[in-house]
Amino acid sequence: MLVTENLMKEHQLILKYIGLMERYAESALNEFNSFILFEKANDFIVFIDDFADDFHHAKEEDILFRYLDVPGVLTHCNPVPQMLLEHNKAREFVSNMKNSLRTKTLNELVVNMSQYASLLKEHIYKEDNILYPMAERGLSDEAKLSLLKGYATTDNRLNSPDMWCKFEALYTELESSLNV
Ligand SMILES: [Fe+2]
Ligand SMILES: [Fe+2]
């Protein structure tokens, strides 16, 4: 029984958005593209808030990490506090993105987008390759079963199929609007 498969699938969509956001940020060196970046930045922020944070990070923080924070589950060092720290750091970058959008400060927007992207890429790498395998090894079948029930509740509450559809479509639209 695997409890990190869906989370890894969610990582893939997050990484796709991050890659595209980096391409938007890089292309904004050109003045016309900076106009497009200002126009589209909010779409990236909505994805990050609704999908990466409310949906994915909430599943980790409210469900998976709680099961891992029980003595005996993680045999080596416990990476959960570091992961939580990185979620909060990511939220800081997003809040800076929102501010720079309000004040129309291109440099600050581009820098915070890039910093968010670097942080999340490293964070996802650590989860996929260190934390999640530790979870699969350390959790009992009983814990995994109730964990999966917790995910199902969150998936229902946030209407997961609709959310996937909406953000797959938005990705396609954002990709076709990138003028490079
Ligand atoms: Fe995470
Ligand atoms: Fe994650």
Domains in the chain, CATH or no CATH each = 5-177 (1.20.120.520)
- Distance from residue 30's CA to the centre of ligand 1 (Å): 33
Residue 8 identity (one-letter amino acid)? M
Local mean pLDDT, 10-residue blocks, the chain (180 residues): 96 98 90 87 98 94 93 82 96 98 95 97 97 94 96 94 97 88
Whole-model pTM: value is 0.95
Q: What is the phi/psi pair of residue 69, to 5°?
A: -80, 15
DSSP state at residue 77? -
Structure-token match 């890089």, residue found:
26
d(C-alpha 85, C-alpha 178), whole Å = 32
Q: Are 83 and 126 in contact (CB under 8 A)?
A: yes
d(C-alpha 88, C-alpha 78), whole Å = 18
Burial status of residue 88 (CB atoms within 10 A of its CB: 0-12, 13-18, 19 or more): exposed
- Distance from residue 60's CA to the centre of ligand 2 (Å): 7
Q: Which residues line ion ligand 1, judged by CB < 5 Å?
A: 60
C-alpha atoms less than 13 angstroms from C-alpha of 177 in its C-beta half-sphere = 21
pLDDT at position 32? 74
Q: Which residues line ion ligand 2, judged by CB < 5 Å?
A: 127
Q: What is the phi/psi pair of residue 102, to 5°?
A: -65, -40
